[in-house]
Amino acid sequence: MSLAQIREHARGRLERLGNAVTSHVWRLGFASRFLFYTMLHSGTALRRFRLTVAEIYFAGVLSLIIIMVSGLFVGMVLALQGYDTLQRFGASESLGVLVALSLVRELGPVVAGLLFASRAGSAITAEIGLMKATEQISAMEMMAVDPIARVVAPRFWGGVISMPLLAALFSALGIFGGYLVGVQLIGVDAGAFWSQMQAAVDLRNDILNGVIKSVVFGVAVTWIAVFEGYDAVPTAEGVSRATTRTVVTSSLAILALDFVLTALMFTGGKSA
Amino acid sequence: MVQIQNVAFGYDAARPVLRDVSLSIARGSVVGIMGQSGCGKTTLLRIIAAQYLPGSGTARVLGEATSELDRDALYRMRRRMGMLFQFGALFTDMSVYENVAFPLREHTALPEDLIHDLVMLKLEAVGLRGAAQLMPAELSGGMARRVALARSIALDPRLILYDEPFTGLDPISFGVIVRLIRELNDSLGATSIIVTHDVQEALGVVDYVYFMAAGRVIAEGTPDEIRASREPFVRQFVNGELDGPVPFHYPAPDYAAELELAGG
Amino acid sequence: MNRATIDLWVGIFVVIGIGALLFLALKVGNLATFSGGETYNVQGRFVNIGGLKVRAPIKSAGVVVGRVADIRFDNETYEALVSMNLDQHYQFPRDSTAKILTSGILGEQYIGLEAGGDGVMLKNGDRVRLTQSAVVLENLISQFLFNKAAEGKDEKK
């Protein structure tokens, strides 16, 4: 290849890279406007609360099984692994602290968020995408009903309300699972388990921060889910790609936001 | 009722779908817009429904120019229109009853028993009152489209738009829909616009026809005039001829040369 | 799935969700000791507070009797000014000592309050006169090295 050809090749690659970046930035702006519009037109979703309640059912209640079972198992594994390491330093009585802090601060919001994204987020995207593909959204527009107020907003608020509750359930069941394995199975002292936990877990710094995290994750995941569904190409392939994008983007967003929030909350932000 | 003047439109600037279309539709008539797939007739319908704004020219619908409408005025105008989508576009998570009741619930504050009576009235008009509790997934194609028709007339619209209403229907459902279009139009005192390429059947129900090709109106007239037309494209279309202004073969290199290359 | 069933399940979901939050708040966290009730405030000056943090516990005889409310630097005396909130139920004599101790060898630092013998008790706004600063590891090591060096010199003599 001559030098000129190499240069052309490189320029083509750079151009495509630049286009990809700008198109992603543009898409983010478009998605932000969409979110703003959704929240502005949430009147229907809140006045006719029945709609939102139905969505809380589809997003929250139907995720209960997977969240609760996963929480239980994660807690049990934490206790097993944690005990193995702690007893080497003679600190096995701190098992309760380890399980509780890990769950409440990190694993509860993050893992519940990831599970929520893949179960409820993908379902929301597929549903909205299919409504778009079968012209139900157009039909609604033609009947002078704002589809964003009627279809998108209830799903958005349903997800945002469900997420913190699911994360709390995850953490609670995880701690219970840790108790089952730590105290009942391994034999750590029950009194030490709970009392050390209560002394170490702070309501404001740990539990509240965990709840804040789960709310932020809920907003992020549901926003991505409704946007990808509404923006999907109205074909079978388009909906399938949108669903995949929801799960991937939500998961990455959760992990990135987790880093930012943890840095803000648990290090620099507050002392003690 | 509807006046289109010199409208041009394209989904993206490089490929215009409509070039300089003009037509007008009188009140109370049933008008057909026909042409090949891709000639722009569905796009024209969407412009009439104000889903898209014309790139140039004006579209006046129900007395207002669509490009001058704000969101509230647009929604007010749409409440006086009904649209039947190609495959019905029923809301799959609601029953037939709920689907027909949807526009009534959203736009009126009528009490439930009155809504019930109205829904039953509309369903009776399309002959599906007994199917009120079924879900859309349980309906056949023809039934689904009739339910969608009942839904689109729920608010007694002045203008009804049909996007390919005859596609994929069995002969009986076909006949039913054809009759319903005419009956509803007359009993509601409305105006109907049908976009289709089912020529023979449509010619039997419409009062006036516009023929489109390549984004332009190339012929218009009453059904009799169209049937008697000498215009070559119209003749090919009406008689279903294999070859004519619309060629049978997609442009390709010389056949003999291609065979020779392959066969050696 | 009719409306009544959906409403029921959503209701159950919200109830157990809030229940989980309450469980976390009460049984897992320190809500019980959080709002212990009325407190009164005393101040104390320390040469060095070491690793003492706000909201660290104040213990007497090993029992938590209060929390550190605020830590500030006094620019005139160049000492640390620690503001302590003590539980109303516990009264301490005016000559009590406040020491900064460490739980365990490398644990968190807290304030240990040792009761004196004075008849008059500390009131809101009083200052604890007798304080003992935290043990700073570096000072301890340099002290040890200095002693070792001094010993060595003595031997040479």
Residue with tokens 């009904």: B82
What does the mean pLDDT of chain A come to?
A: 90
Contact C82, C66 (CB under 8 A): no
What subunits make at least 3 CB pairs under 8 angstroms with A? B, C
* Closest residue in chain A to residue C30, using alpha carbons only: A198
Rounded Cα distance, B20 and B13, in Å = 15
**What is the band of A271 on the pLDDT scale with cuts at 50, 70, 90?**
very low
Domain range for A130 is: 41-269
* Closest residue in chain A to residue B91, using alpha carbons only: A136
- What pLDDT sits at residue A272? 40
- DSSP assignments along chain C, one per residue: --HHHHHHHHHHHHHHHHHHHHHIIIIISSHHHHT-S-EEEEEEEES--TT--TT-EEEETTEEEEEEEEEEEETTTTEEEEEEEEETT---BTT-EEEEEESTTTS-EEEEEE----SSBP-TT-EE-EEEPPPPHHHHHHHHHHHHHHHHHHHH-
- Angstroms from A57 CA to nearest CA on chain C: 5
Question: In this structure, how many other beta carbons lie within 10 angstroms of the beta carbon of residue A184?
Answer: 10
- Cβ-defined contact of C9 to A202 (cutoff 8 Å): no
Residue B94 dihedral angles phi and psi, to the nearest 5°: -120, 155
What subunits make at least 3 CB pairs under 8 angstroms with C? A
B184 pLDDT more than 90 = no
Q: One-letter amino acid identity for B149?
A: L
- What pLDDT sits at residue C36? 55
Domain presence at residue A193: yes
Which residues contact residue C31 at a Cβ distance below 8 angstroms, ignoring those fewer than 6 apart? A203, C25
Best probe of the B interface among A55, A132, A138, A142, by most B CBs < 10 A, is A142
Domain presence at residue A248: yes
Domain range for B136 is: 2-258
CA angle A64, A69, A74 (to 5 degrees): 125
Domain presence at residue B126: yes
Best probe of the C interface among A51, A58, A61, by most C CBs < 10 A, is A61
Q: How many domains does chain B fold into?
A: 1
Q: Which of A68-77, B246-255, C8-17 has the lowest mean pLDDT?
A: B246-255
- What pLDDT sits at residue C31? 56
The average pLDDT across C11-16 equals 93
**What is the band of A269 on the pLDDT scale with cuts at 50, 70, 90?**
very low
Domain presence at residue A222: yes
A142 touches chain B (CB under 8 A): yes
Helical ranges in chain A per DSSP H: 3-40, 43-47, 49-59, 64-86, 95-101, 108-116, 122-133, 136-142, 147, 153-179, 190-200, 209-230, 236-263
pLDDT digits (tens, 9 = 90+) for A202-233: 777 788 899 999 999 999 999 999 999 999 99
Domain presence at residue A95: yes
Question: In this structure, how many other beta carbons lie within 10 angstroms of the beta carbon of residue B62?
Answer: 19
pLDDT digits (tens, 9 = 90+) for B136-157: 999 888 888 889 999 988 888 8
Q: B172-178 long-range contacts, Cβ below 8 Å, gap at least 24?
A: B172/B142, B173/B140, B173/B141, B173/B142, B173/B143, B173/B145, B173/B146, B174/B142, B174/B201, B176/B127, B176/B142, B176/B146, B177/B142, B177/B145, B177/B146, B177/B149, B178/B204, B178/B205
- DSSP SS3 for B49: coil
- Cβ-defined contact of B85 to A135 (cutoff 8 Å): yes
Domain presence at residue A28: no
**What is the band of A270 on the pLDDT scale with cuts at 50, 70, 90?**
very low
Contact B44, B33 (CB under 8 A): yes
* Closest residue in chain C to residue A51, using alpha carbons only: C3
- Angstroms from A5 CA to nearest CA on chain B: 30
Residue C82 dihedral angles phi and psi, to the nearest 5°: -105, 130
Best probe of the A interface among C6, C18, C23, C24, by most A CBs < 10 A, is C24
Domain presence at residue A103: yes
Chain C residues closer than 8 Å to A173 by CB: 20
A173 pLDDT more than 90 = yes
pLDDT digits (tens, 9 = 90+) for C27-61: 766 655 545 567 888 898 898 888 887 778 888 88
CA distances from B234 to A158, A173, A227, B151 (A): 55, 73, 45, 34
Q: What angle separates helix B112-126 from helix B96-107, to the nearest 10 degrees?
A: 130
Nearest to A165 among C13, C27, C33 (CB): C13
CA distances from C12 to A33, A57, A165, C68 (A): 35, 10, 12, 41
Domain presence at residue B264: no
- Cβ-defined contact of A144 to B78 (cutoff 8 Å): yes
Chain A residues closer than 8 Å to C27 by CB: 194, 198
A89 pLDDT more than 50 = yes
**What is the band of C106 on the pLDDT scale with cuts at 50, 70, 90?**
low
pTM of the shown model: 0.79
- Cβ-defined contact of B49 to A142 (cutoff 8 Å): yes
Domain presence at residue B140: yes
Domain presence at residue A32: no
Rounded Cα distance, B206 and B192, in Å = 9
The average pLDDT across A50-61 equals 92
Contact A115, A215 (CB under 8 A): no
Which residues contact residue A141 at a Cβ distance below 8 angstroms, ignoring those fewer than 6 apart? A147, B51, B78
CATH of the domain at B168: 3.40.50.300
Domain presence at residue A34: no
- What pLDDT sits at residue A240? 95
Q: Which of A164-168, B41-45, B87-91, B230-234 has the lowest mean pLDDT?
A: B230-234
- What pLDDT sits at residue A118? 95
* Closest residue in chain B to residue A144, using alpha carbons only: B75
Q: How many domains does chain A fold into?
A: 1
Query: What ipTM was reported for this prediction?
Result: 0.80
Instruction: Determine what percent of chain B falls in helix, strand and coil, rounding each to the nearest 5.
Output: 40, 20, 35
Rounded Cα distance, A77 and A72, in Å = 9
Domain presence at residue B32: yes
B92 touches chain A (CB under 8 A): yes
